[in-house]
Every structure is written in structure tokens, then in C-alpha cells.
Amino acid sequence: MKKYLGKKIFIYLITFFFAVTIDWAIPRFMPGDPVQMLLSRFQGMEGGREIIQAQITASFGLDRPLLEQYFNFWATLFKGDLGTSIYAFPKPVMSVINEAIIFDILLLVPSIILSWIVGNKLGAFSGVNKKADKYLMPVFYFLTSSPYFWFAVVVVFFLGVQLPWFPISNAYSATMRPAFNIDFILDFLHHWFLPFITLFLVQLGGWAIGMRNMIIYEMGSNYSKYMESLGAPEKLIRKYAFRNGVLPQVTGLAISLGNIIAGALTTQIVFSYPGLGFILLKAIQNQDYFLVQGCFLFIIVFVLLANFLVDIVYMLVDPRVRFSYSGEV
Amino acid sequence: MAKSEFWKKHENLYFALTNGKVIFGLIIFMSILALAIFGPMVAKYDYDEFAGPGYMPPSKDFWFGTTLMGKDVFTRVVFGLRSTFIVGFVGGTIATLVGLIIGFLAGYYSGKLADETLMMITNIFLVIPTLALLIILSAYLPYRGILSQSVIIGLTAWTWTARAVRSQTLSLKNQEFVNLSRISAAPVTKIIAEDIAANMFSYVFMVYIIQFTGTILAAVSLEFLGLGPTQGISLGLVMQNAVNWNAIQLGMWWWAIIPGLLLTILIVSLYFINTGLDEVFNPRLREM
């Protein structure tokens, strides 16, 4: 067990190291002299030139040898210093991201977990029920083929504009102030629902297709046929097929995390939902390179942590992993 | 009979062309491809030209309506589709090729240092979300073209293919015919090409379809974020403009929804082709 997690953590640490290195290398080795671009971006702002100059000597230190620049980059990173944002000048990048990330978590975590559960159930149902399968499969294909942001547009169009049931932008009404009372929470949920349902439905299709195929495969396997010949009830066989089918779905969750998060980024743009995606768009539009780089690092850390969680879950649901790494089998 | 001889030789092709899902998918795919190839030729306007009054729903003159500024949506969409197909073909091909080469090598030299190194790299790239990597790469590129976009998407999308191909290679490489080639001192490239790759043709073909759709989706997301090609038009850009100009609030479904709908239908058609081909190549599934 320790060995299994240790191996995973090792991979994640290397990945993090690699991601930071990319973050460091890209502004330095890309064509088109981004540092010059950065300087010119700050020129118009009052006191901006001095701040950026200080920033560049601290985190870029371009006159130093490359290796030293690299170590300096790590040093500033560990101090939690990601530079100054241009878009939200003169706020540091770190605090801009900190304010946004809570909205990502509130959107991503429920949608991932719920759609995974519901998608698996629906897929299992579709796999054993041929009549329903005929109608459900095209729906699943359609859902999983939709680009997230396009589906968001469709959802807004029908549930926000044609039937004005839900607000179509922001995380809460402009008249509200974030507080922990019932009015605010209701208002928040009202705004939260459309982006949530977008993420939920698009992910659902993929899980359902995966589970449907797994169930058909497992129901045709030898153990299912053996149980059938023993006269086991259909329901019991299905239950075993489902439990076996769930395992690849857990692995699938780890693999698609990156895609889901990317989908959430574009979805937030449609809803002007103030999470990382919306910040990222503003950063790109304002050529706010420090903010883009900061978002990149946060997304990576987010994905790594989520992957780690999935690994732990996988270990809990699959006894084979548990035993094979502790040498019991 | 020469005709039945031909079908006997190309049994898979026969089953593919008689499979309802494959036919259904192919017809849609070909129609949209035709739209991308011939659409720009029949389009009456230029994609950036102010073609007529703004805010026009689809009509005889403007098939997909006009934007708020009076640009023709049909023209923008068909030109965008064209670049979508280019990105799909180029990026998908690169991703599949890189994935295949790494997968074959790692699988063939399994357990050796080459395998360990390649798989370590693959696992690292597998965890890093592709879009995040693409965003940071594109954000620093001052000039982006369709081709450079396809190349960087292709170079970030190969990871799962490499892993899947590696495990397929592992199961093939201990077969007797591979051992025979090895004993007769055939060069590694020949063994991989003739013994291993040839036996994975059906699988590779399906991988290519998935890479094609993945590349298209990645490209559209990038374009929607404003990191698409710096010049020209793309589907993602059309949709970004629509969202920025409040097309949804103004009820302009033809501008906000049609471009993405075409793209979604295109990807659905590819899914149908893939599921159909799965049935063709795995006879066990055919009766289902």
C-alpha cells in the first residue's frame, strides 16, 4: 500500500517539477521576446514600470546565468510570489487566483462526483436493457461530443433566455454581498445551477458510454455465464458485472480530469462565472503573462491533487492493488 | 466470380460498408466534409465582409443569418470548418504517429531502460492537462497559424495512445510469429512494421479517429479562449464573438448555436463510425 502510493507520489512530484520548469522556460525560450512585451504592457500604468522592473529582477534576473535564474524562480515560488497581475493591477497574482479558486472547487467537485455516479448507473441500465439502449445511446453520444462551452451556450439559451428561469452570468447577484446567510446561499445556488448542469450533463455521456460497454463485456464473460448456468438470478450477475465494470471507470476518471477541468474553464467564460477560467480569459485578453503562468501552475496542482485522490479511491475499491503491493498475493 | 473474390479478400471492408452505424456516420461525416470543401466556394461573401444588415435570422440570402455587425454566418462557419478539418487531420496524424512510435518502442523493449524512460515521460505528460499546456504555449506565441496550432496540439495529445499501443504490443510480441522473425534476425523496424503494426491495423485506425476528434475539441477550446490562429476564422472564434457580443441574450441562436451544433454533429458521426468499426473488427459484437 505504501509502495503503491509512494510510486504515485514520486510521479506526481516529478510532474510538478516538470510543470514548474515549463512555466520557467516558456517565457525565456519562446520566440518574440515576451519580456519586452511585458515591459511595454506595464508602461502606461502609474508606478508600473518600477514594479515590473523589480519583479523582473526578482523572478527573471535576466542578467544572471540561466541556472541561477532557475533557482531564483523556485525560491520566489516557494515564497508564494507569482508576480503582479496586469489585469487586476496592482494586485499580486496569488491573491487574484485565491479569490477565484473557491468557485472552481464548488463547481467541479459536485459535478464530477454526481455525474460519475449517475452516468455509471445510467450506462449500466442501458447496457442490460436493449430497448432503452436504442434511445439512450445517441443521447449519450451527443452529450459527450458537445464542446463544454457550446453546451453551456445551449443551456443558457433555453433555460436562461427563452425560459428566463435562471440568471445567466456571475456567481451571485450584484446587489448581494458574500455572507453566510440563507439569502446569499439561495442566490448563489440559483446562479450556480446552470454551469453545474452543463458540466454534469457533458461528463455524464462519457461515463454512461464507458459503463454500458463494460457491462456488455462483463455480462458476456466466463464468470457471468458460469453463474447463469448455476441458475443465479439475473440481478446478482448484473451486480457483479457492475462492480467489475466500475474499476476501469475509476481509472478513466483520473485520465479525464484534465479534460473536465479544461471544460470547466471554457464553461465559466460563457457564464462570466468568476473562477479560474474567467480569470484566465481576462489574463489572455490583457496579455497578463504572470497571471496566465499562475493559472497554469494552479491548474496543474489541482489536477495532481485530484489524481492523487483518485489513486487512493482506486486502492480502496480494488483489493487487488492493495494486496499486490503489500506482497500478500 | 471476380466480384466475390474481391469481397472475400477485403472481408472487413465488406462488413464495414454493410454496417448501419458506419454508413450513417460516414454519410454525415462526408456531408460536413463536403460543406467544408465546397462551402467556401459557393459562399457569396468574404468571411470578414459586412455582407448585409445585422441581426438577420437565416433566410434565402443569408443561410445561417448574419451577425450583429452584418457578417454572413454561413461564410464564417464554412471557412471555420475548413480550418477545423485541417487541424483535425494534421494534429490527429501527428498525435497518432508519435503515440504509435513511442508505444511500439516501449512495448518492444519492455522492461529495458528505453521502456522505463519512455513510460516515465508518458506518465508525466498524461497527468499534465493538455489544454493548460496548450494555453501557456499559445499565450507566448505572438503569431499563430493553423499549422503551428495543429502541430502543438498533436505534440501534446499522443500520451494515452502511447500507453495503449504499448500494452497491445506487449501482448503481441510474445506470439510465435514474432519470435520466428526475431530468430531469423529480421531488423527491429521490420518486425515492428510487418508483425506488430500490421496486426494492429484496425486498432490504429480507431485510435486515429479518436485523436481526430480530440484534436478538434482541443483546437476549438483554444480558439474560444482567444488563442486560436491570429489570422483567419475558426469555429471557436465565431462562437467567442457570439458570446462576447451577447448573441445569446439577443436570441440570435443562428450565430451562437449553429457553429457548435455542426461541430457536435461531426463528432457524433465519428463516434458512430468508431462504434460500427468496433463491431466490424470484433465479430463477437456483431450480433448485438
pLDDT tens-digit readout, A260-303: 999 999 999 999 999 999 998 888 888 777 888 889 999 999 88
Q: Which residues of B touch A141 (CB under 8 A)?
A: 268, 271-272
Complete DSSP assignment for A54-77: HHIIIII-TTS-HHHHHHHHHHHH
Q: For A283, name the nearest residue in chain B, comparing CA atoms only.
A: B139
Digit-coded pLDDT (tens) for B233-258: 899 999 999 999 988 888 889 999 99
pLDDT bin (cut points 50, 70, 90) of residue A319 is confident
- A-B contacts at Cβ under 8 angstroms: 154
Out of A227-241, A279-293, A315-329, pick the least confident: A315-329
pLDDT bin (cut points 50, 70, 90) of residue B178 is confident
- Has the ipTM of the complex gone over 0.85? yes
Instruction: Look up residue A164 and give its three cell numbers.
Output: 428566463
Digit-coded pLDDT (tens) for B90-99: 999 999 999 9
For residues B52 and B75, what is the distance between their CA atoms, to the nearest angstrom?
A: 13
B57 CB-near residues (< 8 Å, 6+ apart)? B65, B252, B254
Mean pLDDT, residues A245-273: 90
Report the pLDDT value the prediction gives residue B288, as an integer from 0 to 100.
Answer: 45
Digit-coded pLDDT (tens) for B6-27: 777 777 778 778 888 899 999 9
Which of A18, A145, A266 shows the shortest C-beta gap to B264?
A: A145
State whether A12 and B227 contact (CB < 8 Å): no
Report the pLDDT value the prediction gives residue A63, as an integer from 0 to 100.
Answer: 65
Q: For B131, name the nearest residue in chain A, comparing CA atoms only.
A: A262
Digit-coded pLDDT (tens) for A201-230: 999 999 999 999 889 888 888 999 999 999
Mean pLDDT, residues B271-287: 78
**pLDDT reading at B154 higher than 80:** yes
Report the pLDDT value the prediction gives residue A256, as an integer from 0 to 100.
Answer: 87
Instruction: Look up residue A11 and give its three cell numbers.
Output: 510521479
For residues B239 and B63, what is the distance between their CA atoms, to the nearest angstrom?
A: 17
Query: What is the percent of chain B where pLDDT is above 90?
Result: 38
Report the pLDDT value the prediction gives residue A39, as an integer from 0 to 100.
Answer: 67
CB A214 within 8 A of CB A248: yes
Nearest chain B CA: its distance from A312 CA (Å):
16
pLDDT bin (cut points 50, 70, 90) of residue A329 is very low
Digit-coded pLDDT (tens) for A175-208: 877 778 888 999 999 999 999 999 999 999 999 9
Digit-coded pLDDT (tens) for A110-160: 999 999 999 999 999 998 888 998 899 999 999 999 999 999 999 999 999
Query: Residue B21 — φ and ψ, nearest 5°?
Result: -65, -40
**Is A261 near chain B, with CB under 8 Å?**
yes
Strands (DSSP E) along A211-286, which ranges? none
**Is A214 near chain B, with CB under 8 Å?**
no
For residues A60 and A24, what is the distance between their CA atoms, to the nearest angstrom?
A: 9
Nearest chain A CA: its distance from B226 CA (Å):
7
Q: Considering the entire predicted model, what is its pTM?
A: 0.89
For residues A111 and A42, what is the distance between their CA atoms, to the nearest angstrom?
A: 39
Which of B224, B227, B248 shows the shortest C-beta gap to A157?
A: B248
Please, what is the angle between helix A276-285 and helix B130-139, to 10°?
20
**pLDDT reading at B268 higher than 90:** yes
Digit-coded pLDDT (tens) for B66-78: 888 888 889 999 9
Neighbours of B265 (CB within 10 A): 16
Which of A162, A216, A284 shows the shortest C-beta gap to B225?
A: A284
Report the pLDDT value the prediction gives residue A45, as an integer from 0 to 100.
Answer: 64
Which of A141, A147, A160 shows the shortest C-beta gap to B220?
A: A147
State whether B221 and A147 contact (CB < 8 Å): yes
Which of B132, B140, B221 shows the shortest C-beta gap to A266?
A: B221
Report the pLDDT value the prediction gives residue A149, as an integer from 0 to 100.
Answer: 94
CA Rg value for chain A:
24
Nearest chain B CA: its distance from A272 CA (Å):
10
Report the pLDDT value the prediction gives residue B257, as an integer from 0 to 100.
Answer: 93
State the virtual CA torsion across A220, A226, A231, A236 in degrees, nearest 10. -60
State whether B131 and A265 contact (CB < 8 Å): yes
Instruction: Look up residue A138 and give its three cell numbers.
Output: 445517441
**pLDDT reading at B130 higher than 90:** no
Q: For B210, name the nearest residue in chain A, comparing CA atoms only.
A: A145
- Residue B228 CA: distances (Å) to CA of A68, B89, B140: 34, 16, 12
Distance of CA B88 to the CA centre of its chain: 4
For residues B232 and B256, what is the distance between their CA atoms, to the nearest angstrom?
A: 19
**pLDDT reading at B197 higher than 90:** no
Q: Which residues of A touch B142 (CB under 8 A)?
A: 31-32, 37
Which 3 state secondary structure label does DSSP give A175? coil
DSSP state of A164: T
Digit-coded pLDDT (tens) for A40-58: 666 666 666 666 666 666 5
Report the pLDDT value the prediction gives residue B128, as an integer from 0 to 100.
Answer: 85
Digit-coded pLDDT (tens) for B33-55: 999 999 888 888 888 888 778 77
Report the pLDDT value the prediction gives residue A328, as an integer from 0 to 100.
Answer: 44
**Side chain identity at residue B219, one-letter code:** A
**pLDDT reading at A107 higher than 50:** yes
